Amino acid sequence: MTTATVSRWDRFRESFFWYSFKRDKIAILSTLVLLLMVLAAIFAPWLAPTDPYDLAQINIMNSELPPVGLDGADAAFPLGTDAQGRDLLSTILYGTRVSLLIGFGAVLLQGALGILFGLLAGYLGGKVDAVLMRIADVQLSFSTLMVAIIVGAVFKASFGNLMFGEIAIYMLIFIIGVAEWPQIARTVRASVLAEKKKEYVDAAKVMGFGTGRIMFRHILPNTLSPIFVIATVQIANAIISEAALSFLGLGMPETQPSLGSLIKSGFDYIQSGSWWITLIPGLVLVVLVLVINLLGDWLRDVMNPRLYKG
Amino acid sequence: MLAFLVQRISQALLVMFVISVIAFAIQDGLGDPLQQMVGMSVSQQERDAIREELGLNDPLPVQYLRFAGNAIQGDLGDSYFYSKPTLDVILEHLPATLELVIGASLIIIVFSVPIGVYSAIRPQAWLSKFFMGVSTVGISIPVFLTAIVLIQLFSIGVTVDWFPSDTGWGQWLNGALSTDGGLPSYGRGEELTHLFGTWYSGFFSTGGLMHLILPAVSLASIMLPLFIRLIRAEMMEVLQSDYIRYARAKGLSAGRINFLHALKNTMLPVITVGGVQIGIMVAYTILTETVFQWPGVGLMFLEAITRSDIPLIVAYLMVVGLIFVITNTVVDLIYGLVNPTVKLTGKKA
């Protein structure tokens, strides 16, 4: 067999990436848990016993039933029900779906913004760099959560409750994406500064390629691994930010809950002893964020060339 | 140094200018003051007259200058809900938030320094690994969830009866896993001491301190892992430096090296990073105060949003912006003072 026919899959199996993955139990376990949750979220409409968005399937008589194993539980609702009588397992499946959707969407948006601004700042330098990085500095010094809360507050005040509820998913993706782009832009800029001194960039310039082509086709592919590492951690951050905004009432409405708004709606009933409405979605949120963070840590260890050689 | 000072202060002024423009845009875009002031029965002519009188027909730059001029003199308009100057409302709520931040900072300092130093000195000990593991998990738990769990455990209480209660060990396990609860989880309590002005303090009474415990622990929980990791990383770096090796070669005792020589240089970056982080804690106070109904500025801001109290929202933005800008500038200046090698042009990478 000639080298040309070595498939991508074979190359992947020979790689250091796969080698270190196989040897890291925490990474394997995190991947499995994450995959399970993502699949459960994607197939929520088929897996969930009831449709929490469908008012006809909800009976208020079933409200605040405890999970199976406690007194007064109903086997039809394995994780119990919330204050409106919705099956908690179904709302959690749908809620994870919403949380993941917003998490991925927000990271795609901040990735697009961060890569664009990071490339511009790093490659063009000078005034562009100074202005973009000063904006990033100021935004980061205010903390991304603060920026997100303020933008969310302004949107909510200007759209009104009802309107905001309808477009909440897009709003949250926008708010979190805009609030967190500096994280990615800084990483991209740092690697662009290192890359643009290399000879292949000089070669591309001599060959007469345009600035845009050099930035996106030549430099960008070489800065992808740090972007990949930070994007993973940023998904976890975006999910937490979404949960925080929803908990403050600046996010998903109760009719279309994310994990954050489930925790919020359950919190009102914790004093009456119905701890499961708030703590079970909370546990799901923590596990989701934790496995993404653990994967992020592992990716950083594997992909960071400095650590790899040291 | 003078150039550094001028540069930092002018940057702070520029940021404040941008914040004030944003605040002005929010005020201008969201609120129609006329709607809040007059009833339905007022005719169109009268409305136009009031509009002219209030200067709402002036060009935007003129309106902005008026807004900024008033703001500099401490006049940020009147709150719709409280019907008094927004700055007074904020000053009434600020002490509660400050005490929460002070309480959380004390917890962070008391726990992060010993744990960070220990896990730097003995990175392989199982206790260090345990602390590092806990801090990874800690970062993944949102602050409001920590707060809810704390309320369930220490305010409501948990009764565990999983183990057979007719055996001694079962009884013991049930008792050990159950919690009593009883800690207050709502507001600041009644026993507040009047210090001065609008500052009523909860630090000087048992009731006030009891009310502070859960909110302060929740707020601290989000920053504690960050500080433990930061102190550990800085300390490990310092421990590898030449002067520490020299001190070891000289035969100084380990305690003297670690706590006198190494810790001093560890704390320098920690203090500057810490200053900025404490500013960031303001964002988390909004979440903590919501869970515990703590009557600080964070809860006030959130209530202002639900009530569409636009002058109060705008005033909060200006005041919090000012606090952020002042902390960041002061931290930068301190850093420039104690570390003269800091580059004068822009931040380090």
Question: Best of B154, B156, B305, B325 to disrupt the A interface by mutation (most A CBs within 10 Å)?
Answer: B305
**Residue B85: φ, ψ to 5°:** -55, 135
pLDDT digits 0-9 by tens, B9-59: 888 888 888 888 888 888 776 666 666 666 666 777 777 777 777 677 777
From chain B, the residues in CB contact with A247 under 8 A are: 142, 144, 287, 290
Nearest CA in chain B to A241: B142
Query: Can you give the pLDDT at residue B37?
Result: 62
- Give the amino acid at A267: F
> A9-16: long-range contacts at Cβ-Cβ below 8 A with a sequence spacing of 24 or more?
A16/A302, A16/A308
Q: What is the mean pLDDT of residues A254-268?
A: 84
Q: What is the ipTM of this complex?
A: 0.80
Judge whether residue A310 has pLDDT over 60.
Answer: no
- Decide which of B145 and A11 is more confident: B145
- Tokens representing B271 are 């203090």
Enumerate domains of chain A plus CATH numbers. Answer: 23-44+86-303 (1.10.3720.10)
Angstrom distance (rounded) from CA B244 to CA B223: 29
Query: Can you give the pLDDT at residue B33?
Result: 62
Query: Can you give the pLDDT at residue B308?
Result: 77
pLDDT digits 0-9 by tens, A83-110: 777 788 888 888 899 999 999 999 999 9
Query: Can you give the pLDDT at residue A307?
Result: 40
Query: Can you give the pLDDT at residue A96?
Result: 92
pLDDT digits 0-9 by tens, B112-139: 989 998 998 888 889 988 988 888 888 8
Give this prediction's pTM: 0.84
Query: Can you give the pLDDT at residue B347?
Result: 43
Nearest CA in chain B to A189: B349
Give me chain A's average pLDDT, please: 83
Query: Can you give the pLDDT at residue B271?
Result: 75
- Nearest alpha carbon to residue A17 among A43, A145, A8: A8
Query: Can you give the pLDDT at residue A230?
Result: 87
Find the range with the poorest average confidence among A8-17, A132-141, B222-231. A8-17
Judge whether residue A76 has pLDDT over 90.
Answer: no
Query: Can you give the pLDDT at residue B252?
Result: 85
Residues of chain B with pLDDT under 50: 344-349
Contact across the interface for A248 and B286, Cβ inside 8 Å? yes
Q: How far is CA B136 from CA A282, A289, A297, B36, in A?
A: 17, 11, 10, 49
Judge whether residue A306 has pLDDT over 60.
Answer: no
Say if residues A213 and A139 touch (Cβ distance below 8 Å): no
Angstrom distance (rounded) from CA B49 to CA B166: 83
Contact across the interface for A271 and B313, Cβ inside 8 Å? no
Enumerate domains of chain B plus CATH numbers. Answer: 87-298 (1.10.3720.10)
